[in-house]
A and B are shown apart, each in its own frame.
Chain A
Amino acid sequence: MALRAGVTFVKLNSLRQATRLLSTHTRPDVCQNGGTSEFPGAKAPYVNEIKFLNENSYDPIPIYRVMDSNGRIIDSREEPNIDKESLINMYRNMIQLNQMDKILYESQRQGRISFYMTNYGEEGIHMGSAAALSPRDLVFAQYREVGVLLHRGITVSELVNQCYGNCEDPGKGRQMPVHYGSKQHNIVTISSPLATQLPQAVGAAYALKRMPNNDRCVICYFGEGAASEGDAHAAFNFAATLDCPIILMCRNNGYAISTPSSEQYRGDGIAARGPAFGLHTIRVDGTDTLAVYRAVASARDLAVSNKPVLIEAMSYRVGHHSTSDDSSAYRSVEEIQKWAKDESPVQKLRLYLEGKGYWDAEAETQCVKEARDTVVRAMQDAEKKKLPHWKEMLEDVYYDMPPKLQKQMKQMEKHLEKYQEHYPLNKYLNE
C-alpha cells in the first residue's frame, strides 16, 4: 500500500447509488523498479532505496462533513434523505438527552445516586449513527452513548430507574449508574473495564455472520482512550481476519478523563489504524449529525456484506468525564466554550431544521420544557419505587442456584420472618 502513489482509504456508496471515492496521497514517491515479491506475508514491490515511513508520510485522513457550522448543507448531493418526522425525532431525542444529563448530574451532586456521566458534545454521533442502523443491529456501547438508547426507544423512566437501582431497573439494581442494557432493544449491557466490549462485539458479529441470510450487523462504540487497550487492537485484527459484519465506531472526543488525545497516541488518530488492519475506514465530523448518518448508513451496507468498517467520529467531550472528575484542572473554559457553542452538534442540527422550516423558537421552548418535565417526573417516580427484592442479591450468580446459596436464602427468609421489625423490609419489593 505504501508504495502506491495514491491510497484509497474509503469507498462510500452514496445513497443515490453514485460511487464516490475519497482518497489521500502518500508522500513518499517510491520508484518501482524491482518487480513484485511473492512473500506469503506481503505481496509488495521491491525497491533499491532505504526509505522509512513516518507519521508524516501520509496526508491526514480527511474528515467527512455534510453541514457547515451554521447547519447549511455544503454539497447538496450529500444531504441525506431523512423524512421530516425522523429528523424531528432525532432532534427531540438530543434535547431529551441534554435535559436528562443536566438533571441526573445534579441528582448525583445531591447524593441521590452514586455516579453519573454526561453526553454533552457527542449527541450528533449518537443520533446520526442510531438513525442509520436497523433496530435489529446489535449495539455494544462504552457508556457515553445514551442517545443511541433513547433512539432505540428506551424510555427516560427506564434509564432513570437504572440509575436509581430500584425494582423497575431492568438490571435489578445490580450495576452502577449508566451501565444500561436492554436485550429487547439489542443493546448489550455496559461493562466497566474499558475496551472489553470490542473483542466481544467482534465475537457477536462472527456469531451473526454464521446465521443464514443474516442482514444484521454489530456496532461497537468506544472512546479514543479505550482504543489504546490491547483488546482494541485484537478486535481490529479479528474483525478484519474473520470478515465480520461490524462497525467499529470510535468516539474521539479529545480526552480520556484528563489525558488529552495528544498523549494518548501518536500518528493520525484512530482512523489511521484502520487500513493497516485491513478495515474499511472513514473519519467523520461527529458534531455533524447528517455526516455521521451518511457515514454509518454507508458503513452498514459494507458491514452486512461482511466488510468490517472502522469509523472515527471526531468530537469534543464538553462535560466533565464523570461526577468524579473536575475538568477545570486540565483544560481551559475557552476551549470548552468553543466546542459547546460554535461546534455544538445540537445547534447545528437545530439550524438545519430551522432552515427547512421544521423547527422554530416556540417548538424549542416547548420541547425543552417537555423533556425537562419527563425527567423530573421519572425521577420523582423512581424515588418512590421500591428496591428490588432482597432475594435478587443471591439470584443469577449461577444459572441454577447452588444448594449453598439456596440454604442461605432459606435461612435469611426465616430470619426476616422472625425479626422483620428490625429491617426496612417495606422498602423492598416482596414477591
Chain B
Amino acid sequence: MALKSTPVLFGLLTRLSRRTFSTSKALASKPVTVRDALNQALDEEMARDETVFLLGEEVAQYDGAYKVSRGLWKKYGDKRVIDTPITEAGFAGIAVGAAFAGLRPVCEFMTFNFSMQAIDHVINSAAKTFYMSAGAVPVPVVFRGPNGAAAGVAAQHSQCFGAWYSHCPGLKVLMPYSSEDAKGLLKAAIRDPDPVVFLEDEILYGVPFAMSDEALADDFVLPIGKAKVERAGQHVTLVCAGKATDTALQAANQLAGEGIECEVINLRSLRPLDFDTIAQSVAKTHHLVTVEQGWPQSGIGAEICARVMESPAFFELDAPAWRVSGADVPMPYARSLETLALPRPPDVAAAVRAVLANRGECFMHTPCLGEGTVVMWDSLPEWEHTH
C-alpha cells in the first residue's frame, strides 16, 4: 500500500510553521487546492474530536477515489477511516445509525450519483429522526462527495443534486466553491448537530485558491447559512453556488469590460438559504440573474425567484429575474455538447444584458431562459448583433 502520510504530516507542519512566522495576511496567503482544503478540514476535525470518523468506498487504503482522504487512514487507522464494501444503502445506513449512537460519521459517496442507492437513509432517516424522536435523537452525520457535472462521464455520472436535497426539511445542504469555502464549511458541517449534505465538485478538486492565514488556521469555521459576496457591483445581482460561482465570476469579468458591474453572491449554503444577502443586493442592483448547473425545473434558481416574488424584494426589481441553468436534458457524452449543456460565462453575460435591457418580449416567449443554454444559442449573438 502506498504510504503517503509523511508528506501530509510534513505539509501540515510546514503550514503550521509558516503560520507561526507570518505576520501579514497578504504575505501568508497561499494557494491551496480544494482537495487539500477538504483534506485539512477532515484531518483537523478528526484530530479535534475522537467521535469523528470517515467511511465509504475506497476512502482508506486508496486515499479515496478522488484522493480527498489522502493520508488519513495512515494517520488515524482502521478504526477511524473505514473502507466499505460497495453497498451505498449499507454504509449510509451505518453512518446514520452511528450518528444515532453518538458518533460523528463523515460518509463519503464516491460520487453523489451513487447516493441515489442510499437516499432513503438520507431523507427518511437522517433528515427526520430528530423530529420524529421529539428531539431526543440528533443525527450529526455528514454525507459528502463530488456532485454535479464531471467531464466526459455522461448522463448517469453528471448531475447536480443540490435542488434534490435542498428540498428536504431536516437536512442542511452546503455547496462550497473555493478552498476557503471547502475547509470552513466542511468543518462546520462536521461540528453541526444536524445531518448535512455536502456537495463538492470534481472539477474544482484540483483548482488552487489563495487561502488566508486565518483560513489556514485550525479554528477556521464558516457559518452555515451565510452567503459570501464574491464580487461587489451595482448593476445586477448574480446568485450562484459551487462551480457555477466560477461561471458567474467569469461572466462578471467579461461584463466589467462593457461597464456592467455584477454583484456575485456565492450562496455557500443552499439550505438554509441566505435570502437576506440576496434581498439586500437586489435592493441595490434592481436586477437578478441566477446561475446553476442543475436542471431548471424546481431548481435552486426557481426557489430564489419564488422567494423574491414573496418578499418586498420583488418591488425592487426593474426587470423580471432570469435563470441560467443546465439544459433540460440528460447530460450528453460528446464533449462539445456537454460544454453547451452547462451554463457558460457567455450565457450568463447574455442573460445579464437581456435583463438589464429588460427585453420583455424575449422572456415572454421563453419564460425561463434557464431552460437551458440551448435557448441561449439562439439569443446570444442575436442580441449582440441587433441591439
Binding site for B on A (CB under 8 A): 114-115, 165, 173-176, 179, 191-195, 225-226, 228-231, 256-259, 263-265, 324, 329-330, 387-388, 390, 392-394, 397, 404-405, 407-408, 411-412, 414-416, 418-419, 422, 424, 427
Contacts and interface: CB of A to CB of B under 8 A. Distances in A.
B374 interface: yes
Contacts of B114: 193-194
Contact of B117 (A175, A229, A390): A229
A173 B332 contact: yes
B9 interface: no
A114 B153 contact: yes
Contact of A257 (B65, B372, B375): B65
Given A259-B58, A387-B336, 17 more contacts: A114-B152, A114-B335, A173-B337, A191-B156, A192-B157, A194-B86, A230-B87, A230-B90, A264-B85, A264-B86, A392-B332, A393-B341, A394-B374, A405-B328, A408-B372, A411-B374, A419-B381
A229 B329 contact: no
Contact of B330 (A263, A324, A397): A397
Given A225-B86, A387-B334, A397-B329, A258 B61 contact: yes
Contacts of A422: 381
A263 B89 contact: no
Contacts of A324: 65
Nearest to B296: A404
B336 A193 contact: no
B113 interface: yes
Contact of A174 (B154, B157, B381): B154
B337 A263 contact: no
A231 B377 CA distance: 42
B16 interface: no
B1 interface: yes
A323 to B, nearest CB: 11
A394 B375 CA distance: 12
A191 to B, nearest CB: 7
Contacts of B327: 393
Given A174-B155, A194-B86, A415 B377 contact: yes
B83 interface: yes
B157 A176 contact: yes
B332 A174 contact: yes
Contact of A411 (B1, B61, B155, B378): B378
Contacts of A427: 336
B201 interface: no
A415 B86 contact: no
B200 interface: no
A402 B209 CA distance: 43
Contact of A176 (B85, B89, B152, B329): B152
Nearest to B381: A419
A391 B86 CA distance: 37
Interface of B: 1-2, 57-58, 61-62, 65, 83, 85-90, 113-114, 116-117, 151-157, 327-330, 332-337, 340-341, 366, 371-372, 374-375, 377-379, 381-382
Contacts of A330: 1-2, 61-62
B336 A424 contact: yes
Top 9 closest A-B pairs, CB basis? A114-B152, A411-B378, A228-B85, A258-B62, A192-B156, A415-B378, A176-B154, A228-B87, A408-B374
A388 B153 contact: no
A281 B1 CA distance: 35
Nearest to B114: A193
Contacts of B62: 257-259, 329-330
A330 B2 CA distance: 7
Contacts of B83: 259, 263
Task: Determine which residue in A324, A390, A392 has the highest number of CB atoms from chain B within 10 A of its CB, and name it.
Answer: A390
A329 B381 CA distance: 50
A259 B89 contact: no
A414 B154 contact: no
Contact of A175 (B61, B154, B375): B154
A412 B152 contact: no
B333 A173 contact: yes
Contacts of B57: 257, 259
Nearest to B335: A114
Given A258-B61, A408-B372, A390 B87 contact: no
A228 B374 contact: no
Contacts of B1: 329-330
A230 B117 contact: yes
Contacts of A179: 154
A166 to B, nearest CB: 9
Contacts of B341: 393
B382 A415 contact: yes
Contact of A263 (B85, B157, B378): B85
Given A387-B336, A424-B336, A193 B328 contact: no
Contact of B378 (A173, A394, A414): A414
B121 to A, nearest CB: 11
Nearest to B297: A404
B150 to A, nearest CB: 10
Contacts of B337: 173, 390, 393
Contacts of A193: 113-114, 116-117, 156
Given A265-B85, A408-B371, A176 B328 contact: no
Nearest to B153: A176
Contacts of B2: 329-330
30 contacts: A114-B151, A114-B333, A173-B332, A174-B154, A174-B155, A174-B330, A179-B154, A193-B116, A195-B86, A225-B85, A226-B86, A228-B86, A228-B90, A229-B87, A256-B85, A258-B61, A258-B62, A263-B83, A263-B85, A264-B85, A393-B329, A393-B341, A397-B329, A404-B328, A405-B328, A405-B329, A411-B374, A411-B375, A415-B378, A416-B377
